[in-house]
Amino acid sequence: MMMKNSFELIYDVVRRIPYGKVATYGQIAMLAGNPHWSRVVGYALHVNPDPEHIPCFRVVNRYGEPSSAFAFGGVNEQITLLQNEGVEFIDGRVDLSKYLWDGR
């Protein structure tokens, strides 16, 4: 059996983020098996091969802020996609106490 590479592990986790929820880069790194992968998560999402099925727009930073380098239409597109799922922004941030995925 072949081992999955880090990007595949990251994509597997991101696919599980439910509609209307967000996850942080650090949370994805932990769930993918390496808490030191926060930057790797960012790289992986930036080159996401299948944005239709790997909802990278649901990943925000630890403060609930969208990515300034969102690769699929810019930061405003990421905000729009999240708002379309009912995620609210206050002062440019997602309320993580309300919208953070529990990882299950």
Q: For the chain, which domains are there?
A: 6-95 (1.10.10.10)
Two tokens, residue 5: 């590479």
The residues assigned a catalytic role are 56
Q: What crossing angle do the helices spanning 6-15 and 38-46 adopt, rounded to 10°?
A: 80
**pLDDT of amino acid 30:** 97
pLDDT in tens, the chain (104 residues): 556 899 999 999 999 999 999 999 999 999 999 999 999 999 999 999 999 999 999 999 999 999 887 767 777 899 999 999 999 999 999 999 999 999 98
- Tell me the whole-structure pTM to 2 decimals: 0.92
Return the bridge partners of 24, or none. Answer: 60
The Cα 49–Cα 51 span in angstroms is 6
